[in-house]
Amino acid sequence: MADTVVYVYAVTDAATAGPPQDPAIPGVDGAPVRRIASGGLAAVVSSVDAARFSEEALRRSLDDLPWLEETARAHHAVVAAVAPAGPVAPVRLATVYVDDENVRALLQERAAAFRAALDRIRGRTEWGVKAWAVPSDDAGESQQITDGAKPGTSYLMRRRAERDRTAKGLQDAVDAAEAVHRKISAVAVASRRHPPQDPRLSGKREEMVLNAAYLVDEAGATALMQLVEDRGIQGVRLELTGPWAPYSFTTVEGP
């Protein structure tokens, strides 16, 4: 085993079953997935090629989008396969240990923090809610403004009116998104705002005005879905994703 290192996907209770073995879920780089238990905790891991997962190789690979996508999806598939069996604290992408002994030491040294994280997410799921500004479409107004003005002035007035309307539409969308965020936060155990997504990655042209994650229990999930489906919300288009393993609520920094 000298040529492998240990890739860590997640930490769970030792009592939580590992990923299904029949059929087995392939891990990153196609590696088999197994568990390392210590105390009351278990790490979900794969042995991966030491050269392909060396620090230098990883720094290079992280610039390779197809590699990043494949690895992120494999990591996520393992986390998603374990999540139904019990609370799971996903570990950040590309966390690699030298050997099993170091992973056991980690579980022992950080036991209190892992337990706190697992207790916080027990019986709860994460949902994502994103909001985009819906461009307003009232072209008639600018025509009225410019009736009777000189052509040059009329052009400038129309441009200014368009700019004002765009700015107002965006501000209205921001306000609507904040209102949605407040309402959902009220039914959630915790919330977290992610930065707006880059349009080059999301493929959406509209302005993203909310990119949030919410940690909810079962009743909270129902309430959250009702809030997202509320047809009375104007000025924004909402999108719901989930349920997710609680990626956004297990950020244990340190040591």
Residues 192-211 binding other proteins (CB under 8 A) are: 192, 194, 197-198, 200-203, 211
Q: How far is the CB of 162 from other proteins (least distance, A)?
A: 24
- Determine, following the binding rule CB under 8 A, whether residue 35 of this chain makes contact with other proteins: no
Phi, psi of 38 (to 5 degrees): -160, 130
In whole angstroms, the minimum distance from the beta carbon of 163 to other proteins comes to 26
Per DSSP, the three-state class of 231 is coil
User: Mask: binding to other proteins, 144-183, rule CB under 8 A, as x and -?
Assistant: ----------------------------------------
Q: How far is the CB of 152 from other proteins (least distance, A)?
A: 36
How far apart are alpha carbons 211 and 215 in whole angstroms? 14
CB of 253 to other proteins, least distance (A): 5
Give residue 136's identity as a one-letter amino acid code: S
Q: CA torsion 80→84→86→89, rounded to 10°?
A: 20
d(CA 145, CA 97) in angstroms, rounded, equals 66
Pick between residue 162 and residue 198 the one whose CB is nearest to other proteins. 198
225 makes contact with other proteins (CB under 8 A): yes
- What are 244's strand-pairing partners? 126
**Using CB under 8 A, which of 22, 138, 144, 231 touches other proteins?**
231
DSSP string, 97-113: ES-HHHHHHHHHHTHHH
Please report, as residue ranges, which positions from 103 to 132 form the binding site for other proteins (by CB under 8 A): 105-106, 110, 114, 117, 128
Residue 238 touching other proteins (CB under 8 A): yes
Nearest distance from residue 41's CB to other proteins, in Å?
12
| Cβ-based neighbours of 31, under 8 Å, separated by 6 or more | 7, 46, 47, 48
